[in-house]
C-alpha cells in the first residue's frame, strides 16, 4: 500500500473519530472522548481553542488532586461545562482552579465541586494533558458560519431558529465529512467508465450498517439523555422552616420525587444516592410508556449549619430485558446494560437487514440493471 493511501486512511479515521465524538458529546450534553476550551484560563497547559482527550468519570480512576476535570459549574462563567484543575480535595468536595487564574473557582463564588458534577477527566501522559491544537477553533469557526445560515433560513421561512447552533453545526459537519468519505470510498477513475458503472453506488452492507448505527444511537440517547445526577440544595439551620430546602440541623425532610418516561418504550430506572444525607425510595422502578412514577426523597441536614448540596444519580435503561437481568448487569457496571441493550437492538437489525437486502450495491437503476433493493425485499417476503 502506498504511504499516501495510508496517510489518507489515517486522516479519514481521525475525521470519523472527531465527528462521532463531537456529535455524541452534543447529543449527551457532555464531552465524549474529545473536548475543547474557549478561554485562556487553562494556559499554558491547554491553549485557547485547543482540544483535548477526555475520559468519562465512569471509566476513569478516582479523581485526585492535580487532575484536569470537566465539571458542570453553577456560578462561574454563567454556569455550564468548565475545564479546570483540581487543586485540593476536602470533605465537602473538590477545590478547582484554572492554571492561568490567580484565584480558585470557589474564591470566585463557585461552590465546592461534588464528584457527581464531574463528567470527564482530561487524559494525561507523564503529567501533561494530551491536546489537539486548533480543534476548538475549527468547531467554533463552523458554528459562526452556521449562525448566519440559520438566521438567513429562519428569516426566509419566517420561523424561529431551526435548531441549536451547536446541533446544526455538528450535524452538517458530520454529514459533510460522511459524504466526503463515502465519495472517496465509492468513486473510481473516470477512465474506467464501465468498471465505475458496475461498482458505483453504496454497499448494501454499509447502508444497513448505517441504519443500525442510527437506531443504536437513538436508543443510547433515550437511555443516557434523561439520566444523570440531580442536585438538591439544602440549608442546615438552627430553626424549623416551612421551606422544604431549609431543614433544622440533624433532622430530615421527605419530599415527593416524580420520574417520567416520555418515550413509547418502557424503561427501568435505578437510583444511586450521593451521600448518607440523601435517600430515595424506591431505588429502582419500571416506568411504562408515557407514564411516570412517584417516589419519596429524604434529605437529612448535617449537624453543622450551612448550605449543602446533595445528589441522586439516575440510570435509565430500555425495558427489552427482564428487570432482574438488567439489574445484574447494572451491578457489574452502570454502562453494562447499555452495551448489552444496544447489541440486542443493533445486531438483529443488521442481520435481518442483510438477509432482506442481500449483497451488492444500492444504486440508481437503469433498464439493464437487475432487481432493485425494494424488489429484493418483496421477493424475500414472498418466499
Q: DSSP letters of 317-337?
A: EESSS-HHHHHHHHHH-TTHH
Say if CB 277 and CB 308 are below 8 A apart. yes
Residue 187, CA distances (Å) to 2, 24, 103, 121, 295 in order: 18, 29, 56, 41, 57
- pTM, rounded to two decimals: 0.66
pLDDT at 295: 92
pLDDT at 271: 94
Domains of the chain by range and CATH?
31-133 (2.10.109.10), 225-318 (2.60.40.10)
Q: Ramachandran region of residue 46, left (φ > 0), alpha (ψ -120 to 50) or beta?
A: beta
Helix (H) or strand (E) holding 344: helix 336-357
Helix (H) or strand (E) holding 373: helix 373-382
Contacts of 282 (CB under 8 A, 6+ apart): 295
Q: Where are the alpha helices (DSSP H) in 187-306?
A: 193-199, 204-224
pLDDT at 268: 95
Number of DSSP helices (H) and strands (E) in the chain, helices first: 8, 19
Contacts of 246 (CB under 8 A, 6+ apart): 234, 235, 237
Residue labelled with grid coordinates 425532610: 253
Strands 124-125 and 284-287, by their bridges, are: unpaired
What SS3 class is residue 79?
coil
Say if CB 253 and CB 298 are below 8 A apart. yes
Q: Distance between alpha carbon 112 and the CA centroid of its chain, in Å?
A: 24
pLDDT at 165: 45
Q: Look up residue 107 and give its three cell numbers.
A: 474564591
pLDDT at 247: 93
Say if CB 127 and CB 79 are below 8 A apart. no
Q: Ramachandran region of residue 169, left (φ > 0), alpha (ψ -120 to 50) or beta?
A: alpha
Gyration radius (Cα) of the chain, Å:
25
Contacts of 359 (CB under 8 A, 6+ apart): 204, 205
CA distance 74 to 65: 21
pLDDT at 190: 46
CA distance 352 to 347: 9
Q: Look up residue 319 and give its three cell numbers.
A: 425495558
Q: Look up residue 289 and give its three cell numbers.
A: 410508556
What SS3 class is residue 74?
coil
DSSP 162: S
Q: What is the pLDDT along the chain (383 residues), one digit of tens a residue?
A: 567 777 777 776 777 677 667 666 665 667 778 888 888 999 999 999 898 988 888 777 789 999 999 998 988 877 888 999 999 998 888 999 999 999 999 998 898 999 888 989 999 988 889 998 988 777 777 667 666 766 776 666 565 555 554 455 455 555 555 555 555 555 544 445 545 544 555 567 777 877 888 788 778 878 887 888 888 889 999 998 888 889 999 999 999 999 998 888 899 999 999 888 999 999 999 999 889 999 999 999 999 998 888 999 999 999 999 999 999 999 998 889 999 999 999 999 888 887 877 655 555 444 455 555 545 555 555 55
Q: Look up residue 49 and give its three cell numbers.
A: 481553542
Amino acid at each position: 500500500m502506498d504511504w499516501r493511501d495510508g496517510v489518507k486512511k489515517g486522516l479519514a479515521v481521525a475525521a470519523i473519530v472527531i465527528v462521532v465524538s463531537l456529535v455524541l458529546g452534543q447529543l449527551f450534553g457532555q464531552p465524549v472522548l474529545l473536548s475543547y476550551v474557549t478561554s485562556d484560563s487553562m494556559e499554558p497547559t491547554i491553549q485557547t481553542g485547543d482540544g483535548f482527550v477526555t475520559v468519562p468519570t465512569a471509566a476513569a480512576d478516582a479523581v485526585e488532586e492535580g487532575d484536569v476535570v470537566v465539571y458542570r459549574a453553577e456560578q462561574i462563567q454563567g454556569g455550564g461545562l468548565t475545564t479546570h484543575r483540581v487543586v485540593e480535595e476536602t470533605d465537602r468536595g473538590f477545590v478547582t482552579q484554572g492554571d492561568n487564574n490567580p484565584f480558585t473557582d470557589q474564591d470566585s463564588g463557585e461552590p465546592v465541586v461534588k464528584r457527581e458534577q464531574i463528567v470527564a477527566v482530561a487524559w494525561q501522559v507523564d503529567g501533561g494533558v494530551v491536546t489537539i491544537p486548533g480543534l476548538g477553533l475549527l468547531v467554533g469557526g463552523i458554528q459562526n458560519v452556521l449562525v448566519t445560515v440559520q438566521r438567513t433560513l429562519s428569516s426566509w421561512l419566517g420561523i424561529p431558529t431551526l435548531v441549536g447552533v451547536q446541533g446544526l453545526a455538528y450535524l452538517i459537519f458530520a454529514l459533510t465529512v460522511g459524504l466526503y468519505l463515502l465519495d472517496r470510498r465509492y468513486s473510481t477513475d473516470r477512465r474506467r467508465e464501465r468498471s465505475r458503472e458496475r461498482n458505483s453506488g453504496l454497499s448494501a452492507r454499509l447502508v444497513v450498517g448505517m441504519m443500525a448505527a442510527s437506531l443504536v444511537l437513538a436508543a443510547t440517547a433515550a437511555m443516557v439523555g434523561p439520566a444523570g445526577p440531580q442536585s438538591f440544595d439544602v440549608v442546615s439551620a438552627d430553626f424549623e422552616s416551612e421551606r422544604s430546602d431549609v431543614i433544622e440541623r440533624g433532622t430530615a425532610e421527605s419530599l415527593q420525587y416524580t420520574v417520567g418516561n416520555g418515550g413509547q418504550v418502557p424503561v427501568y430506572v435505578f437510583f444511586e444516592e450521593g451521600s448518607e444525607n440523601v435517600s430515595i425510595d424506591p431505588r429502582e422502578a419500571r416506568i411504562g410508556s408515557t407514564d411516570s412514577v412517584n417516589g419519596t426523597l429524604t434529605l437529612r441536614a448535617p449537624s453543622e449549619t450551612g448550605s449543602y448540596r446533595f445528589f441522586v444519580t439516575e440510570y435509565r435503561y430500555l425495558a427489552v430485558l427482564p428487570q432482574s437481568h438488567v439489574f445484574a448487569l447494572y451491578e457489574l457496571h452502570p454502562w453494562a446494560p447499555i452495551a448489552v441493550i444496544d447489541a440486542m437492538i443493533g445486531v438483529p437489525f443488521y442481520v435481518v437487514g442483510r438477509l432482506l437486502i442481500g449483497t451488492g450495491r444500492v444504486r440508481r437503476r437503469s433498464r439493464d440493471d437487475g432487481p432493485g433493493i425494494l424488489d429484493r425485499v418483496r421477493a424475500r417476503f414472498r418466499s
